[in-house]
Chains A and B, each alone.
Chain A
Amino acid sequence: MNAEQQDPASGAAAEPSTLFDKIWRRHLVTEPEPGIPATLYIDLHLLHEVTSPQAFSEIERRGLEVRCPGRAVATMDHSTPTLPGVGRSGLRVLDPRGADQLDRLETNCERHGIPLFALDDERQGIVHVIGPELGLTQPGMTIVCGDSHTSTHGAFGALAFGIGSSEVTHVLATQCLLQKRPRTLEVHVEGSLQKGATAKDLILAIIGRLGIDGGTGHVIEYTGQAIRELDMEGRMTVCNMSIEAGARAGLVEPDETTFAYLEGRPYAPQAWQEALASWRELSTDPGAIFDRRIVLDASTIEPMITWGTNPGMSMPVSGTIPSAATVDPQSLPTMEKAWTYMAVQPGEALLGRAIDVVFIGSCTNSRLSDLEAAAQVMQGRQVASGVEMLVVPGSQAVRREAEALGLHEVFLAAGAQWREAGCSMCLAMNGDRLAPGQLAVSTTNRNFEGRQGPGGRTILASPLTAAASAVAGHVADPRELL
Chain B
Amino acid sequence: MAPRFQSLSSCMVPLLIDDVDTDQIIPAEYLKIIGREGLAEGLFAEWRRDPECVLHRDVFRDAQVLLAGDNFGCGSSREHAPWALLDYGFRAVLSPCFADIFRINALRNGLLAVAIDRPLHRQLADIVEADPCAEITIDLKSSTLTLPDGTGVDFEVDPFARRCLLEGIDQLGYLLRQAEQIADYESRHPPWTDSRQPKVLSS
Contacts and interface: CB of A to CB of B under 8 A. Distances in A.
Interface of A: 2-4, 7, 26, 29-30, 34-37, 39, 41, 43-44, 50-51, 53-54, 57-58, 62, 64, 67, 69-73, 78-79, 95, 97-98, 100-101, 104, 113-115, 122-123, 134-136, 138, 146-148, 162-167, 169-170, 173-176, 178, 180, 182, 212-213, 216-217, 243-244, 246, 248, 264, 266-271, 275, 310, 312, 331, 333-334, 337, 397, 427-429, 446, 448-451, 454
B63 to A, nearest CB: 20
B123 interface: no
Interface string B78-108: 1100000000000000000101110011001
B99 A216 contact: yes
Interface in B166-202: 171-172, 174-176, 178-179, 181-182, 185-186, 188-202
Contact of A448 (B23, B163, B182, B193): B23
B21 A36 contact: no
Contacts of B99: 213, 216, 246
A164 B79 contact: yes
Contact of A178 (B27, B31, B75, B160): B160
Contacts of B11: none
Given A7-B188, A54-B36, A448 B77 contact: no
A174 B34 contact: no
A428 B28 contact: yes
Contact of B104 (A113, A164, A176, A264): A164
Contacts of B77: 51, 146-148, 162-164
Q: How large is the interface on B (under 10, 10 to 19, 20 to 34, 35 or more residues)?
A: 35 or more
Contact of B195 (A136, A175, A182): A136
Nearest to B29: A429
Contact of A2 (B79, B97, B101, B192): B192
A212 B71 contact: yes
B127 to A, nearest CB: 18
Contacts of A331: 18
A35 B100 contact: no
A409 B84 CA distance: 45
A44 B163 CA distance: 29
Q: Which applies to chain A's interface (DSSP): helix, strand, loop or mixed?
A: loop
Given A170-B172, A213-B99, A446-B75, A4 B69 contact: no
B181 A101 contact: no
B146 interface: no
Given A170-B171, A246-B100, A267-B195, A212 B178 contact: no
Contact of A164 (B35, B105, B195, B201): B105
A268 to B, nearest CB: 8
Contacts of A29: 178, 181-182, 185
Interface of B: 16-19, 21, 23-24, 27-29, 31-36, 46, 69-71, 74-79, 97, 99-101, 104-105, 108-109, 158-160, 163, 171-172, 174-176, 178-179, 181-182, 185-186, 188-202
A108 to B, nearest CB: 10
B79 A165 contact: yes
A72 B193 CA distance: 11
Contact of A213 (B16, B19, B158): B19
16 contacts: A3-B188, A3-B189, A26-B189, A30-B181, A51-B78, A54-B79, A57-B34, A101-B33, A115-B196, A173-B176, A180-B158, A213-B74, A248-B100, A266-B202, A268-B193, A331-B18
A37 B31 CA distance: 30
Contacts of A26: 189
Contacts of A180: 158, 160
Most buried by A among B97, B101, B195, B198: B195
B192 A269 contact: yes
A359 to B, nearest CB: 15
Contact of A71 (B171, B188, B191, B202): B191
Given A95-B32, A178-B175, A334 B21 contact: no
B201 A174 contact: no
Contacts of A72: 195
B41 to A, nearest CB: 14
Contacts of A166: 79, 105, 108-109, 171-172
A267 B32 CA distance: 31
A69 B194 CA distance: 9
Given A333-B16, A450-B23, A7 B193 contact: no
A148 B78 CA distance: 8
Ranked 3 nearest A-B pairs via Cβ: A164-B79, A266-B199, A269-B192
